[in-house]
Homo-oligomer: A and B are copies of this chain.
Amino acid sequence: MPRVTAAAKARLEGTRRTQILAAAAVVFARKGFDRATVTEIARAAGLAEGSIYNYFRSKEELLVYIPRQLAQPVLAALLEQAPMPATVEEMEALLLRLAGAMVERVRTHSRFLKVFFSALPYLSPAARDTYMQLLPMYASSALERMLREGVRTGYLRKDLNPVIAARVLPGMLMFFLMVQEVLTGRRMVPYGYDEIIPEAVRVFLYGAVPRRRASPAG
């Protein structure tokens, strides 16, 4: 005669796990994986150290499970739900939105991304793959399809390589974000994202070299 049903128990266990992982993420972000202590994580989770081990086999396992908790493919979703742009203008609007979401997302998770960069190079390959899914630029495959469609339709350059281009655009921004938000916490340039984003999109679409022409034949 169990007090709680198996389902409720599973739910509770899930809750506990979530609670621990959330605490671990916070602590890892603050201290880095190696410098975080289980005691500290337990305290942040409102539990005793020993209790952690009722839910996870080791400290390392906490690291591996965190992404599954946090990774919500918002960017990919955003792209997949968006209608395929049919003109340059639609594409530009979409890219601006995409870039904005990316910035937003990175800034929100910047503390966690610290852990990411800190721990990733030394994780097992399996854990590493799990982790890489987090990278916003993995939304790139959706973007890639759109670019390919733009090339096909003709409003993008015929010789544009959609595979590369789909990674180049996020890369433009990612570096600002990584340096500013994740690595140093300082600005690299005296501009806000409201100026950086449009400039990057503009460069991506139109290049640095001036368009000859507001020719009527455009």
Contact = CB atoms under 8 A, between A and B. Distances in A.
Interface of A: 31-35, 88, 114, 117-122, 128, 132, 135, 137, 147, 150, 154-158, 160-161, 163-165, 167-168, 170-176, 178-179, 182-184, 188-191, 195-196, 199-200, 203-218
Contact of A168 (B33, B158, B199, B212): B199
A218 B214 contact: yes
Contact of A163 (B114, B191, B211, B216): B191
Interface of A is mostly: helix
A18 to B, nearest CB: 24
Contacts of A211: 211-212
A156 B213 contact: no
B118 A203 contact: no
Contact of A203 (B114, B184, B195, B204): B204
Contacts of A191: 161, 163-164
B167 A189 contact: yes
Nearest to A117: B117
